[in-house]
């Protein structure tokens, strides 16, 4: 018969491995989502003239935070229960310049074939009572481990820079007052949220006008043979492009 302390050690070691595996699944899921977003971000930077993604931030709840939430929400104390009932252990926040960008980014995320969209909450069209506007996605991300595939929840919040500033300030105020915020401050916060949304609309309209002017100017200019160098290593020689164009012409002639 094994000593009690040795049995306890083996049980603790097994539990440690299970918790580590549990947390790693969420860490890897975050890495997968972040990689997908980085790919989109770089594509827009190098190919398109406008990048809708301004900033990406990821967050993984600590075991202590998971326990605290489980106690607050009366969630059964087990890893399986945490996985089933907590959808925000892994979180991604995406900041965009404009509300229209939010929907573009959301659409690109939801079209990814290996992502399962569990829920979409549109707080832009339907703001929260406190004035908060954002788009929330609950995703299920497959994580390919050495011996299994784990599907875990990742919460994605997409909001404008102005609303992100407001949300950050609102969080600090509620933390300071331990959620017992005076009524007059709550009222002013809501007014600030409305102002932030109006600012978003004005800036987006300005952006549209500037884009129109730029497009009109470009249409009037003659074709330039100068190749604009990107901020990366993809500096494409003009001769390289000319050779490809010539080859495309030959291919077209053969087909005809």
Q: Using the predicted structure, report yes or no on whether residue 230 has a pLDDT greater than 50.
A: no
Q: Is 136's pLDDT higher than 60?
A: yes
Higher confidence at residue 168 or residue 2?
168
In a domain, 124, yes or no: yes
- Would you call 10 helix, strand, or coil by DSSP? helix
Residue 69 is assigned to a structural domain of this protein: yes
> What local confidence, expressed as pLDDT, does residue 217 receive?
76
pLDDT digits (tens, 9 = 90+) for 104-132: 999 999 999 999 999 999 999 999 999 99
Which of 155, 170, 198, 221 is flagged as catalytic?
155
Give the CATH number, domain containing residue 25: 3.30.460.10
Of the pLDDT bands very low, low, confident and very high (cuts 50, 70, 90), residue 3 is: low
101-105, 199-203, 221-225: range with highest mean pLDDT? 101-105
pLDDT at 86: 97
| Residue 155 designated active-site | yes
Lowest mean pLDDT among 72-76, 204-208, 213-217: 213-217
* pLDDT surpasses 70 at 219: no
For the entire predicted model, the pTM comes to 0.80
In a domain, 39, yes or no: yes
Q: Vertex 10, ends 5 and 11: CA angle to 5°?
A: 95
pLDDT of residue 222: 42
Alpha carbons 242 and 252: distance in angstroms, whole number: 15
The secondary structure of 21-69 as a DSSP string is HHHHHHHHHHHHHHHHHHHHHHHHHHTSS---EEEEEEEE--HHHHHHH
> Does residue 105 belong to any structural domain of this protein?
yes
Q: How many domains does the chain have?
A: 1
Tabulate helix, strand, coil % of the chain (nearest 5): 55, 15, 25
Residue span of the structural domain in which 55 resides? 4-161
Is 90 domain-assigned?
yes
In a domain, 133, yes or no: yes
pLDDT tens digit string along 145-166? 999 999 999 999 999 999 999 9
Is residue 183 situated within a structural domain?
A: no
Contact 134, 124 (CB under 8 A): yes
Percent of the chain with pLDDT over 90: 63
For 23-41, write each residue's pLDDT tens digit: 999 999 999 999 999 999 9
Looking at the domain assignment, is residue 239 inside a domain? no
């Amino acid at each position: 018969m094994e000593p009690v302390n040795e049995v306890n050690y083996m049980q603790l070691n097994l539990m440690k491995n299970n918790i580590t595996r549990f947390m790693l699944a969420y860490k890897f899921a975050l890495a997968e989502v972040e990689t997908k977003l980085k790919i989109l971000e770089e594509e827009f930077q190098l190919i398109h003239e406008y990048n809708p993604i301004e900033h990406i931030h990821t967050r993984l709840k600590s075991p202590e935070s998971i326990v605290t939430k489980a106690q607050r929400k009366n969630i059964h104390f087990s890893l399986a229960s945490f996985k089933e009932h907590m959808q925000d252990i892994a979180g991604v926040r995406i900041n965009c310049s404009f509300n229209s960008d939010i929907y573009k980014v959301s659409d690109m995320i939801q079209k990814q074939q290996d992502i399962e969209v569990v829920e979409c909450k549109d707080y832009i069209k339907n703001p929260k009572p406190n004035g908060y506007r954002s788009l929330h996605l609950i995703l299920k991300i497959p994580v390919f481990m050495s011996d299994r595939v784990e599907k875990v929840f990742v919460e994605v919040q997409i909001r404008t820079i102005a609303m992100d500033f407001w949300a950050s300030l609102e969080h600090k105020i509620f933390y300071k007052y331990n959620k017992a915020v005076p009524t007059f401050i709550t009222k002013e916060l809501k007014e600030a949220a409305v102002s932030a949304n109006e600012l978003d609309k004005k800036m987006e309209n300005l952006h549209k006008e500037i884009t129109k002017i730029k497009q009109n100017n470009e249409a009037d200019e003659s074709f330039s043979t100068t190749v604009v160098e990107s901020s990366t290593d993809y500096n494409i020689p003009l001769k390289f492009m000319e050779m490809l164009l010539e080859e495309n012409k030959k291919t077209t002639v053969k087909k005809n």
